[in-house]
Amino acid sequence: MIGYLTRRLGQALLVVAGVVTLTFVIMRLVPGDPAVAYAGPKATPEQLAAASRQFGLDQPLHVQLWNYVRDLVTGDWGTSLRTRQPVREDLFTAFPASLELVGAALILAIVVGIPVGVLAARHKARLPDLGVRLGSMLAVSVPVFWLALTLQTVFASHLGWFPVAGEYDASLDTTSPLTLWTNITIVDALITGNWPIFTSTLDHLVLPALVVAAYPAGVIAQMTRAALIEESGQEHVRLERALGFGETTILTRFALRPALNPVLSLIALVFAYSLVNGFLVEAVFNWPGLGRYAFNAITSADTPGIAGVTLLVAVVYVLVNLVVDLLQGVIDPRVRTR
């Protein structure tokens, strides 16, 4: 287990190093001069040179890469050209909101996807299975931004069941201000007992979370179904049948746990995908997360901002994969001894 752990950690570090380099390269590809973007179009040559020196742009490339890495490690993720704030602080406020959205969506997707996958496997090649397969195919084929717009127009604008946009009712900030602990609004509201903000956030969360959940729910259902069908071909299932267990019991109590292993690594992949897919949903619902930050950065050619978001998401992705690999050892005892 220890050997496995260190090998896995080393791999992750290598990937992160590559990610940093790649991000750096992409940033250097930007056609405009960051110094110009920072100092403004009317800056004098002296001001330009000063900005250039400030960003270290007068150094050779490998020195710049080295400086970039050193700054990243020491926590200096650069200064946003748009907000003129340290990127790290910007991300620090934006990331929790995205996490809140994606977390809610994934919980929804798991709660729906796994039972639905079990249902399909239980009635394999019969009508419920066909329904689940069609439904999950539609869920993974729907363009998120369109689904977001549609749900927003139907359920918020026309029917008025849910708020149109935002994370919670901004007027609550004055009537019942929120104490921040984790920066995740709904969690903070819950632990500080701030019910007005909690219910308002929940209300605002429903539609965007539903949209973000569509894709993961679809793939989780498909994967659960496939894994369960494969698992129920295993020999142990014959013994369980011979012991008199019903089909549903066999699927949920005996086959589901070994089958969950591939589903779990899938959830990790889907988490990162949903985080970025959520960017589009954030744009539609004006959710104050990474997506909105990224878009503002994009429209104002804020390279450090874009680089920061890219880097953060890639690192999160690597971390999630790492955690899942370790978790698999907990779910399937055979992995531990490997």
Residues between 247 and 276 that touch another protein (CB under 8 A) = 249, 253-255, 257-258, 262, 266, 269-270, 272-273, 275-276
Smallest separation (angstroms) from another protein to the CB of 79:
18
Mark residues 119-138: x for contact with another protein by CB under 8 A, - for none.
Answer: -----xxxx-xx--xx--xx
Q: In the chain, what is the greatest distance between 2 CA atoms, to the nearest angstrom? A: 85
Q: Report in angstroms how near the CB of residue 16 gets to another protein at its nearest.
A: 8
Does residue 286 belong to the site contacting another protein (CB under 8 A)?
no
- Helix residue ranges per DSSP H, the chain: 2-29, 34-39, 45-54, 61-73, 87-122, 127-141, 144-151, 172-175, 185-191, 195-231, 235-242, 247-249, 256-285, 290-299, 303-331, 333-336
Q: HSE, CB side, 13 Å, CA atoms: give it for residue 193.
A: 0
Residue 170 or 242 with smaller CB distance to another protein: 242
Contact between 280 and another protein (CB under 8 A)? yes
Residue 250 is classified by DSSP as: I
Q: How far is the CB of 33 from another protein (least distance, A)?
A: 13
Binding mask 7-26 for another protein (x = CB under 8 A): ----x--xxx-xx-xxx--x
Under rule CB under 8 A, how many of the chain's residues touch another protein? 90
Contact predicate 307/78, CB 8 Å: yes
Task: Report which secondary-structure segment, H or E, holds 26.
Answer: helix 2-29
Whichever of 28 and 199 has its CB closer to another protein, that residue is 28
At its nearest, how many Å lie between another protein and the CB of residue 255? 7
Rounded to 5 degrees, what angle do the CA atoms 297, 54, 44 make?
90
Tokens of residue 269, six digits: 């992949």
Please state, in angstroms and rounded to a whole number, the distance separating the CA atoms of residues 328 and 330. Answer: 5
- Specify the residue, 201 or 274, whose C-beta has the smaller distance to another protein: 274
Smallest gap from Cβ 219 to another protein, in A, equals 5
Helix (H, G, I), strand (E, B) or coil at 163: coil
Residue 277 engages another protein in binding (rule: CB under 8 A):
yes
Query: For residues 140-179, which are near another protein according to CB under 8 A?
Result: 140-147, 149-150, 153, 157-158
